[in-house]
Structure 1
Amino acid sequence: MAAAGALFDQVLNGLTIGMVYVLLAAGLSIVFGVMDVINFAHGEFFALGAYFALSVAIATGPGGFWVALLVAPLLVAVVGAGVERFTVRPLYGRNPLYHILLTFGLVLVIKDVVELVWGPQPYQFAKPPVLRGTVEILGYGYSVYSYFVVGVGLLIAVGTWLALTRTKYGLIIRAGSMDRGMVRNLGIDVDRYYTLVFAFGALLAAVGGVVIAGRQSVSPGMGDSVIIPAFIIVVLGGLGSFRGAVVGGLAVGVVQTLVRSYVPVLEGLVVFLLMIVVLLVRPQGLFGNPEWAGADEGGDLLTVSGGGVFDSTLRRRAGAALVAAFAVVPLLVGLPSYYVNTLAVSIFVWALFALSLDLVMGYAGLVSLGHVLFYGVGAYATVLVVVNLVPSLWVALAVAIAVCTAVAWVVGHLSIRVSGVYFSMITLAFAELFHSAVYKFGWTGGSDGIFGGFDPTYGLVGGPAVRSIELVGDVELFYYVALAAAVGGYLLARRLIRAPFGSVLQAIRESEDRTAFVGYDVTAYKRRAFVVSGGLAGLAGGLSATLTGGVAPEFLAWILSGEVIVMTILGGMGTLYGPMLGAGVYLVVKDVLLSLTNAGSPLLVALGEFWQGALGLLFVAFVIFVPEGLVSLPETVASRIDRRSGGGETIAEDAEVSD
């Protein structure tokens, strides 16, 4: 009897968390099903709901919880409407994957805005007296607040379903998702309805944030903790399926709670495994096709045609000059400092990482949200080889590349069976699976990672230690190892892209069906590119661990996948050198912003403290206005000037004719 009571208590806790997931996933599914927008900032709307509720409750005093429950979601809905109007709407007609990139930038912005307004410290949100305590059933006490959360979630889920299926507004929304042009031809402002849909999705997330605030502290990172489970739920249920969001949210909440209580070793692993299995067996999700969805997935990924604004000769000369400068300048006594050299090594490492992503994203059209998997595995492999086998850096890096290519072959063999958004989601699931796994094993160092005993050498079995051989001006030999790796990785990738193999990859990116029709095995080509990309990313991870002096689970954090995508888009994907340039610009701008924390002006200090938000705004601007990246910026500016000049001449000519 006691066991049954304890089980019921765990199920109730699971349903409570599951109902919060329902509110989150329902908003995600509605927005995707209607608008084809995958909103990575959805977790930040969840956090905003909690923070707005906190402020409203404090301002209104007694009874503030109930006022906050009504007002905070409406405030977040207004924010969501503004986000849709000014950032999401310009991207309609592009590939839905651009929405992922845009909303990732918005994550950085909103997160820093939250810290700027409310600070980094956690807050406690008091429940009203009527929702405190327990209710006794069959001799066992259960939380009143849990019943409240389940009831609120159920009420909103039913109301949402009725609104979408039984009202005129729901009919227009569903019709607009299927044929936007037809609805507009009927005289209906479908853009206004899209704004309402996005705002309503934000409102649902905010309700989840308000109710969960009564169970846990309100903190800036609370959005990060729920966005990945929310994506798992919408993938399990079916992207765009409201029923799938409800059933999936409740199921994931209960499964997570039961596993945490009875099989803790599998906590954090089961849901990712479940997501991978569902994507492999039934990519459209458990509930099949969504109740409403458009047939068109949008445009293609925008790559830089012709390799950028510079011709091949100028690019080759500029690249050679840049490499020569990197090689010679550090040897000049009195010029660079140890700090500058370390920053340069970081640029080499991230440039190699961005290059590896561009090989599959810019040329094969595969947007991997889990590319950090290979970066992290390469870092762990390098450290483990040095600590447990041989101290040689060369052996460790070779093992890291071999392990990552093997992992990339397995992951690629499974993931490339699906395409588009589903490919992005399954790679994210694999990365999160490995990220959760490294916490479970002693040989990975658990949450502390591995930092002691990592002393790599340049010899095969001994010899001089890495980072101990100093050249002129405090330059260490490892600087040139990282530079050679970045240059070598670029030359290898360029050789592959200029070979027939690269031509097939670009043909696949342009039209996979036509490429398959002429006889190419497109799956095999994409898998090979994925394997090479994984090996290069593993090399970058190994070099990064060597620079850091160890490895930790943060090397596998999904946010790093977002950062390397930012670098790739910022520089210009589909060029190889563009993402490397983007990595350098990103890190230099980040370093400059961080240095402002020591400035005298309060405004500059604030800008330095909230550098992520500043970079997020920069990235959002590039995704909207310069999606082909920095390498296309001169050409983009010139073309716009030409268009304006041409438009001005046309107007003048029309005026003369009128006269």
Structure 2
Amino acid sequence: MVSGGALLTQLLNGLTVGMVYVLLAAGLSIIFGVMDVINFAHGEFYALGAYFAVSIVGVLGGAGVGFWVALVAAPVIVGVVGGFVERITIRPLYGRNPLYHILLTFGLVLVFADLIELAWGTQPQAFSVPPSLAGTIGVAGFEYSLYNYFVILAGGVIALATWYALTETRVGIIIRGGAQDRGMVRALGIDIDRYYTLVFAFGCVLAAFAGIVLGAKQQVAPGMGNDIIIAAFVVVVLGGLGSFRGAVLGGLLIGIVQTVTQTYVPALSGVTVYVLMLGVLLFKPQGLFGNPEWQNHGDEGGDLLTGGGDGFLDDRTRRLVGAGVVALLFLAPFGIGVLYSSYLPNSLILNILVWALFALSLDFVMGYAGLVSLGHVLFYGIGAYATVMMAIYVTPVFWVGLLAGILLSLAIAWVVGHLSIRVSGVYFSMITLGFAQLAFKGISKFQETGGTDGLYTGYDATYGFGIGEVGQVNLLGDIELFYFVVLALVVGSYLLARQMMRAPFGSVLQAIRESEDRAEFLGYDTTAYKRRAFMISGGLAGLAGGLATINSFGVGPSFLFWLKSGEVIVMTLLGGMGTLYGPMLGAGAFLGLKEILLVGGETVGGPVGHLLEQWQGILGTIFVVFVIYVPEGLVSLPDTLRARFTAGGGGGGESTSEPDVEVSD
């Protein structure tokens, strides 16, 4: 039986965690409610606050003075950084589809994560609670942490002050007016862009404050932003994207549910909050409190920009180039021992082929149906686990496991698509992310899936029909049969996808991407078409996941980590979505540049080599540049450059034209 004191302790612990979520989610909600920006880099500003506090406390130290100075100075520094980021990266995207902000901030996550490691190292650090807040305090015989009381009180005061500033002050009136009608505010002679910078910076200040108060209770470590940002998005989506009230109530609710579950039902720890979020969204797709309190526009802004359909090559040239690339890939293993080691084809090229297939699967729905799936890693991971588990528990025949992974991914994609495609835009992205996180948290709890350790078996699977083992059978020296199997499956998948997109089915998908209302007017069941596309896309991702497990000799929860969805989105946009081959090119460019940077770092050594090893930050910077200036990807780069330098600006052709920011609302 649970005592009253123990239950009260857990409720207060939940309020403490919940107040941290409130601070994070309030910043996210304000930024989205006013600016239409979904900021996935918000967790990195949270981490920056904690790290700046570590530095300030390390310099000042002494009797808790450093903590109090850090609590004021660090959020201000992070706010300045946030304002600078808004001006140079986010401001150029106003007027585009809000989903571009998701893509951009994915790139910023990679940049800030590496900058933090470069500045503070990879080892966890810590700073202590000041002596004035240490210990416990008794109320009516109940003893509880004084610092936790401080977090609850400080968070509550900041939330109330933020609400008052937004609703009762002149600055708040201007910000709300800009959220309603930016053009009208500009017509009054007000530079609304400066207020947008202020809003973004203030959201970063709230995140930094949350990072400091929680950082004093636990270690400050790289990746801490990734650990908490998804929970913050659960809060925001649960309460309603952009709703300040929803952020406050959702944060407190999630904090309490999470803490109570961890204490009394540990088997459901980490799963309950996602079940709660999905349950709410399936019945109220826009969250508990619906649309932002101050927004009036509610549209999706501009369109997603594709790679110009056929890219910059004509059909005949593209076919010749494609055939040449496939021929070179086929011949690559025969250069082992002569031109290079077996690492190039049997590791690097294999990895590129698998990720190229994964990117192709995402392009099927993002590039052709306009659906940005932030949870596409779900199908990749499901295909991987199904393939390995079939080999372990049922039969070692490779094809059986791979087919099981594809079929299971198809089935789950049908279910997820049936439930999520009722909504569009940002809400669709968040629901798919919720399903992926539910699987990520849940799959590590079962012994059959290997728990948190995964299933690393050495992979002794066979091809069947008397043909030997997948990872060990060689045709000529170090040339592995598996290489040619993967190449054939990837090329075959591309040809199948291309044929489907050239069929009437693909034409309808592209019509839906351009204007779903017009497609519906012509009599097409757009929801059914999108579900079919989503299902096929899930099957292709499952195939990629199954192949990845054989290449890596096992599977683990990392196959379902949400950042993999971010990486494949980076590849898809980098290459040029809406072209099928563009995302595959993007996968090659992403992984190839990563390899060059890693090898360069090992070769050069010293400070320059150490800088090159921060490959995620360099790739993130390149991606940010592409989102802003070359949103149609590598396949349209020549046209984009030609238009920019010969016509005095603009994007790569007619499809890159953006609606004026003043009328985007």
Measured against the shorter chain, the TM-score band is over 0.9
Give CA-to-partner distance per residue, 1:380-430, whole Å, 9 cap, x none: 000000111111111111111111000100111101011100000000000
Please state if 1:384 is matched with 2:389. Answer: yes
Q: What is residue 24 of structure 2 aligned with on the other side?
A: 24
- CA shift, 1:167, in A, is 0.4
Within the candidate set 267, 270, 277, 1:268 is matched to: 270
- Distance (Å, rounded) in 2 between the aligned partners of 1:583 and 1:328: 20
Unmatched 5+ stretches in structure 2: 651-665
- CA shift, 1:127, in A, is 1.0
- CA shift, 1:606, in A, is 1.6
Q: What is residue 42 of structure 2 aligned with on the other side?
A: 42
Within the candidate set 466, 488, 494, 2:492 is matched to: 488
Identity %: 63
Within the candidate set 180, 183, 188, 2:185 is matched to: 183
Within the candidate set 209, 212, 226, 2:211 is matched to: 209
> 2:147 is aligned with what amino acid?
Y
- Aligned ranges 1:448-463 → 2 under 5 Å: 448-452=453-457, 454-459=459-464, 463=467
Please state if 1:234 is matched with 2:239. Answer: no
Please state if 1:514 is matched with 2:518. Answer: yes
Give CA-to-partner distance per residue, 1:110-137, whole Å, 9 cap, x none: 1111111111111111111110001123
Within the candidate set 432, 435, 438, 1:433 is matched to: 438
Within the candidate set 633, 637, 641, 1:637 is matched to: 641
Q: What is residue 649 of structure 1 aligned with on the other side?
A: none
- Distance (Å, rounded) in 1 between the aligned partners of 2:187 and 2:535: 48
- Distance (Å, rounded) in 1 between the aligned partners of 2:645 and 2:150: 59
> 1:238 is aligned with what amino acid?
G
Contact residue 520 and residue 526 of structure 2 kept, 8 A: yes
- Distance (Å, rounded) in 2 between the aligned partners of 1:453 and 1:603: 37
Within the candidate set 534, 541, 564, 1:537 is matched to: 541
Find the residue that maps to 2:137 and give its secondary structure: strand
- Aligned ranges 1:53-64 → 2 under 5 Å: 53-62=53-62, 63-64=65-66
Q: Give me the CA root mean square deviation.
A: 1.3
Contact residue 307 and residue 582 of structure 2 kept, 8 A: no
- Distance (Å, rounded) in 2 between the aligned partners of 1:525 and 1:645: 37
- CA shift, 1:149, in A, is 0.1
> 2:362 is aligned with what amino acid?
L
Please state if 1:609 is matched with 2:606. Answer: no
- CA shift, 1:214, in A, is 1.4
- CA shift, 1:626, in A, is 0.4
Contact residue 241 and residue 290 of structure 2 kept, 8 A: no
- Distance (Å, rounded) in 1 between the aligned partners of 2:283 and 2:438: 18
Find the residue that maps to 1:307 and give its secondary structure: coil
Q: What is residue 656 of structure 2 aligned with on the other side?
A: none
Q: What is residue 409 of structure 2 aligned with on the other side?
A: 404
Give CA-to-partner distance per residue, 1:246-302, whole Å, 9 cap, x none: 000000000000000011111111111111111111111111222111413210100
Inter-CA distance 549–98: structure 2 relative to 1 (3 Å threshold): same
- Distance (Å, rounded) in 2 between the aligned partners of 1:124 and 1:546: 40
Q: What is residue 67 of structure 1 aligned with on the other side?
A: 69
- CA shift, 1:141, in A, is 1.6
Q: TM-score, normalised by structure 1?
A: 0.96
Q: What is residue 298 of structure 1 aligned with on the other side?
A: 301
Please state if 1:11 is matched with 2:11. Answer: yes
Q: TM-score, normalised by structure 2?
A: 0.95
Q: Which runs of 4+ in 1 moved over 4 A?
A: none
Q: What is residue 373 of structure 1 aligned with on the other side?
A: 378
- Distance (Å, rounded) in 1 between the aligned partners of 2:317 and 2:485: 26
Q: What is residue 653 of structure 1 aligned with on the other side?
A: none
Give CA-to-partner distance per residue, 1:473-509, whole Å, 9 cap, x none: 5110100111011101100100110000000000000
> 1:96 is aligned with what amino acid?
P
Contact residue 364 and residue 526 of structure 1 kept, 8 A: yes
Contact residue 331 and residue 471 of structure 1 kept, 8 A: no
- Distance (Å, rounded) in 2 between the aligned partners of 1:470 and 1:534: 31
Contact residue 596 and residue 607 of structure 1 kept, 8 A: no
Within the candidate set 317, 326, 330, 2:329 is matched to: 326
Within the candidate set 314, 324, 330, 1:311 is matched to: 314
- Distance (Å, rounded) in 2 between the aligned partners of 1:138 and 1:267: 32
Contact residue 127 and residue 215 of structure 2 kept, 8 A: yes
- Distance (Å, rounded) in 1 between the aligned partners of 2:574 and 2:348: 19
- Distance (Å, rounded) in 2 between the aligned partners of 1:79 and 1:137: 41
- Distance (Å, rounded) in 2 between the aligned partners of 1:112 and 1:31: 24
- Distance (Å, rounded) in 1 between the aligned partners of 2:242 and 2:295: 7
Q: What is residue 563 of structure 1 aligned with on the other side?
A: 567
- Distance (Å, rounded) in 2 between the aligned partners of 1:473 and 1:512: 54
Contact residue 330 and residue 473 of structure 1 kept, 8 A: no
Inter-CA distance 634–155: structure 2 relative to 1 (3 Å threshold): same
Unmatched 5+ stretches in structure 1: 647-659
- CA shift, 1:601, in A, is 4.4
Find the residue that maps to 1:39 and give its secondary structure: coil
Contact residue 43 and residue 224 of structure 1 kept, 8 A: yes
Give CA-to-partner distance per residue, 1:205-260, whole Å, 9 cap, x none: 01101111111111111111110011011111111100100000000000000000
> 1:297 is aligned with what amino acid?
E
When structure 1 is superposed on structure 2, of 133-142 and 614-623 the one drifting more is 133-142
- Distance (Å, rounded) in 2 between the aligned partners of 1:345 and 1:381: 20
Inter-CA distance 252–594: structure 2 relative to 1 (3 Å threshold): same
Contact residue 460 and residue 471 of structure 2 kept, 8 A: no
Q: What is residue 95 of structure 1 aligned with on the other side?
A: 97
Contact residue 271 and residue 442 of structure 2 kept, 8 A: yes
Please state if 1:625 is matched with 2:629. Answer: yes
- CA shift, 1:624, in A, is 0.6
Q: What is residue 658 of structure 2 aligned with on the other side?
A: none
Q: What is residue 146 of structure 1 aligned with on the other side?
A: 148
When structure 1 is superposed on structure 2, of 522-531 and 450-459 the one drifting more is 450-459
- CA shift, 1:638, in A, is 1.2
- Distance (Å, rounded) in 2 between the aligned partners of 1:632 and 1:11: 55
Q: What is residue 501 of structure 1 aligned with on the other side?
A: 505
- Distance (Å, rounded) in 1 between the aligned partners of 2:44 and 2:208: 9
